[in-house]
Amino acid sequence: MQLKRSPAYMALYAMYNQLVKRDNANLAYEDAIILLDNLLSSSYRFESTEIQAAISMLEKLPAYGACARNFRNRYLKDEYTLRSLPKDPKKLPKGHWH
């Protein structure tokens, strides 16, 4: 049997899910940046399998839509843009993250 939920409850639940997704993305971002920094400092090239795996992880983290596209276009193009990624996801510009 399906419970009927009020529109206010559904809106609050959607906002809660968005916050949880953002918090999980922030934690994963911090781990991915540490991995990426280690790889880049160990002279791995942008085309290497390891760097491409880290990029693949980072690509899935921003909010869906324009944020994901903006993030990819600004930070995941080449080695120079990878190095410009901030250590803290809170320092990512609006429109590039959650």
pLDDT tens, position by position, 54-68:
999 999 999 889 999
As a whole number, the mean pLDDT across the chain is 91
d(CA 40, CA 37): 5
Residue 96 is assigned to a structural domain of this protein: no
d(CA 86, CA 66): 19
Residue 98 is assigned to a structural domain of this protein: no
Residue 76 is assigned to a structural domain of this protein: yes
Total domain count, the chain: 1
Please give the residue range of the domain that contains residue 50. 7-87
pTM above 0.75, yes or no: yes
pLDDT at 50 over 80: yes
pLDDT at 96 over 90: yes
